[in-house]
Amino acid sequence: MESLARSDRSDPGTHLAARRLELHPFGVMVGPVGHLAEERERLWSLQWSNFDVEPHSATIGAEILGLNLCTQLDDLVVAELREALNAYKVLFFRDQPLTAAQHVAFARRFGELEVHPFLQSNAEFPELVRFEKTSETGGYENGWHSDVTWRECPSLGSVLHAIEVPRSGGDTLFADMGAAYDGLSDELRSELEGSIAVHDYLQAFGHGVPKDQRETMRKQYPQVHHPVVRTHPETGRKSLFVNRFFTTGIVGMEDAAAKALIGRLAREAETVEYQCRFQWQADSVAFWDNRAVQHYASSDYWPHRRVMERATIIGDRPH
């Protein structure tokens, strides 16, 4: 009788459909993330003329097949890649043995490239940030963030090339911050309307600036204000645009309340259903849209060696 009673029990999710439930008292949400369905169906319906696509997850990430980034791509191919970037937010490529010159040339097809003032660069090409991690140089990029939001015009996107990777570990995760915004309650979205965040390079890079240079660097890179919710300039999609690395406050809000709100919004990137994860191989390339995603570089490979180079494309002022 006991086994019969157990078999008669229905699944706890029966009749709940797409409802999300909160597990008290911890505030953990469980259940299907139903608002992703429309975007997932849209992405499945897309067709491409110059390459094949294998989507990675519900609304973010796709592997591009059939292109050689070491060659000079036709303008029509570049235009279609831009469309694919707008759609999938992150594009992945395998087996792309780019030279530094080819890496810079490919990234430059999408806009002007920045030179990062605080990070080591390739000796020949200052446009390439070099991440060379060993037992003597740890990886501290393992927090959710968008690149250079402390600039008046943060980046459009980044093109990261794997030169040397460990046998395991060192994956990069990406989170769809448009899906994160859509998943907020109506009340919180209304509360965020018109909110402006303060971004500052000092929070992440200040420790590396000598004291006698801080005043000069502050004049060159003052605090900047960006909307908490930005609108993508090409798709019109709204997304959350705050992160724990560079966002230091909310204009007009008390410090404690601002930090609590930033932390609350930043946690949305941690929702697994909004993410995709890329396992690197030598000569893999990831091209992500900094206007739409945040990323997290897993630092689980120490003390092994991991060498990557990144070109960053200058974007527009968020609105």
The Cα–Cα gap between 53 and 242 comes to 30
| Residue pair 181/309 in contact by the 8 Å Cβ criterion | no
Neighbouring-strand partners of residue 30: 21
Neighbouring-strand partners of residue 306: 133
Tokens of 19: 């409802």
Q: Catalytic amino acids? A: 145, 147, 295, 310
Three-state secondary structure call for residue 227: strand
CA distances to 1, 245, 250 from 198, rounded to whole Å, are 63, 12, 6
Give burial (CB, 10 Å; 0-12/13-18/19+) of 125: middle
Cβ contacts of 238 within 8 Å, gap of 6 or more: 178, 181, 182, 229, 230, 231, 232
The Cα–Cα gap between 55 and 21 comes to 28
Q: How many CB atoms lie within 10 A of CB 51?
A: 16
